[in-house]
Amino acid sequence: MATEPTSSFLEYAPAPESTAILSLKSDYGLFIDGEFVAGNGTPFATISPATERHIATIASANAHDVDTAVAAARAAYDTTWSRLSGADRGKYLFRIARLVQERARELAVAESLDNGKPIKESRDVDVPLVAAWFFYYAGWADKLDYAGLGADPRALGVAAQVIPWNFPLLMLAWKIAPALAAGNTVVLKPAETTPLTALLFAEILQQADLPPGVVNIITGAGETGEALVNHPDVNKVAFTGSTAVGRAIAKSTAGTGKRLTLELGGKAANIVFDDAPIDQAIEGIVNGIFFNQGHVCCAGSRLLVQENVHDEVVDRLKARLSTLRLGDPLDKNTDIGAINSREQLERVRALSDIGEAEGAERWSPACDIPTDGFWFAPTIFTNVSTSHRIAREEIFGPVLSVLTFRTPAEAIAKANNTPYGLSAGIWSDKGSKILAVADQLRAGVVWANTFNRFDPASPFGGYKESGYGREGGRHGLTAYLESSGWGADRGLRSAPARIESSPTKKSRRKQAAK
């Protein structure tokens, strides 16, 4: 239940970022073979989740359009991209990085408008990381021999990439930058609710003179993505999104020989020991779960607090939450923006109601909720037990579940008690304890005394049902390459001499008709 703010705070005058920088079109087509073309599916509207106002009408790709896009990517791979030197591929990526920087403010405004995230995040986190991602992988394009797969690793061919709505442009960068650096061509489908920045990015590709067909961007709903990942002429599928869809993709691509990377859901434990630097921990907890309204697969949604500091941590957390500003995503002072869609808002509400019904104690600071748009006040649940659904299921919203522990062993057991394994946080001033606990956590990214840090040089991805494969860093590059050794495809190389004569045709996996 909402309570009065525990501290009074200055009232700020509105400080909205101007949308004048945008020159949006009223309709956007599909970006195929370097041009915007009409789609054959039923067009849909993209709206601002903060106001529910119409932004633009977006074309929808049907199976025929998917065919056209994949064919364009294949032709570009065969005739252009695979024949370019790595250095030249890199130059295109450097151009893209620079253009993203030059149009950074415009992209940030468009992202906040379409997604609902606070402008200070799109401006200071998303877009700078997008540029950084292209810069980082640009430099790899002519250095693939050092990727760790031996000399002359090969591109895979056409990559089908499907991305979520929580970091629309950043996820695009995570997918496209390494794919192009490695020499693949791309068909990418942005999320239905957040296609805008991907389409602005298509304009950037035109400005960069990227050869037509190297990157194709097709918009649409789930069926478009399904048609894309199941297209027979696709060699690689990269998906970021829900575990349920990831599972379906793993099934539908089984036996096809398509290489697959999946970055799926999470239910990260953020572990606070009693010797943690509490000031930093409070900021880290807030950043961990309320960054991007909690629409983060690696969000620190389960706070595990050592029992003896539980009350102090929760009290200070409540005080800190009372100072957060919820409202207009384009306002530079906004901390919490809009929930991305009505559907997501319903899900967050439903799981929160279940949390209450199951006996956890719900708390939100007093905050004004705008009348239009999709909003959810930052929420903390205390008295949560490991069996509660709010401690097990991904809520993907600004909802924190607080649990307690007494010993490091108990913290580790609780942290690992989930089918997910994407990320985790540890807060303690004792380095040796942090390293020992980090060793035991079954999670792909562990943040110690920090949370939600991302960097193009740092691999990101999950254990268990959070998916497989890594994005970022050298590891992220190899997800788009295969070794050119005689046993490529799960590469078989560097064997003792005598064994190299043992069987094995070059093992291309069965191109099975499922």
Partner 1 sequence: MTRLTIPKTYKLAIGGKFPRSESGRTYEVVAADGSFLANAAKASRKDARDAVVAARKAVSGWSGATGYNRGQVLYRIAELLEGRRSQFVDEIVASEGVTRAAASTQVDTAIDTWVWYAGWADKYVQAAGNGNPVSGPYFNLSTPEPTGVVAVIAPQSGASLLGLVGVVAPALVSGNTVVVIASEAAPLSAISLAEVFATSDVPGGVINVLTGSPAEMAPWLASHADVNALDLAGAEALDWIELQVLAADTLKRVLAPVGGIPAPSLERIVAFTETKTVWHTKSLI
Catalytically active residues, by annotation: 263, 297
271: three-class secondary structure by DSSP: strand
Q: Which residues pair with 215 in a beta bridge?
A: 186
CA distance 4 to 323: 11
Neighbours of 95 (CB within 10 A): 18
Nearer of residues 10 and 510 to partner 1, judged by Cβ: 510
Question: Closer to partner 1 at the Cβ: 169 or 422?
Answer: 422
**In angstroms, how far is CA 336 from the centroid of its own chain?**
18
Strands of 86-244, DSSP E: 154-155, 158-162, 185-189, 215-217, 236-240
By CB under 8 A, is residue 364 in contact with partner 1? no
**Amino acid letter, 16:** P
Q: Is 446 in the site for partner 1 (CB under 8 A)?
A: yes
Out of 43, 139, 257, 408, the only residue in the binding site for partner 1 (CB under 8 A) is: 257
Binding flag, residue 247, partner 1 (CB under 8 A)? yes
- For strands 236-240 and 259-263, give the pairing: parallel
- Of 69-77, 106-114, 246-254, 313-321, which segment contacts partner 1 by CB under 8 A? 246-254
Nearest distance, CB of residue 467 and partner 1, angstroms: 7
- Looking at the chain, the number of H-run helices and the number of E-run strands are 16, 21
Q: Does 189 bind partner 1 (CB under 8 A)?
A: no
- If one asks whether residue 432 binds partner 1 (CB under 8 A), the answer comes out as no
Near partner 1 by CB under 8 A, which window of 25-33, 42-50, 116-124, 466-474? 466-474
How is residue 200 written in tokens? 């602005």
Is position 465 an interface residue for partner 1 (rule: CB under 8 A)? yes
> Rounded to the nearest whole angstrom, what is the least distance from the CB of residue 301 to partner 1 in the complex?
18
SS3 510: coil
| Candidate segments 93-101, 177-185, 296-304, 460-468, binder of partner 1 by CB under 8 A | 460-468
Q: Which is nearer to partner 1, 151 or 357 (CB)?
A: 151
373: left (phi over 0), alpha (psi -120 to 50) or beta: left
- Residue 483 binds to partner 1 (criterion: CB under 8 A): yes
Q: Which of 262, 238, 145, 258 is nearest to 186 (CA)?
A: 238
d(CA 339, CA 514): 39
Region of 99-107, 312-320, 379-387, 455-463 interacting with partner 1 (CB under 8 A): 455-463
Interacting residue ranges for partner 1, rule: CB under 8 A: 132, 148, 243, 246-247, 250-251, 254-255, 257, 262, 264, 419, 421, 431, 434-435, 438, 441-450, 453, 455, 457-461, 463-465, 467-468, 470, 473-475, 483, 487, 490-496, 498-500, 502-505, 507, 509-510, 512, 514
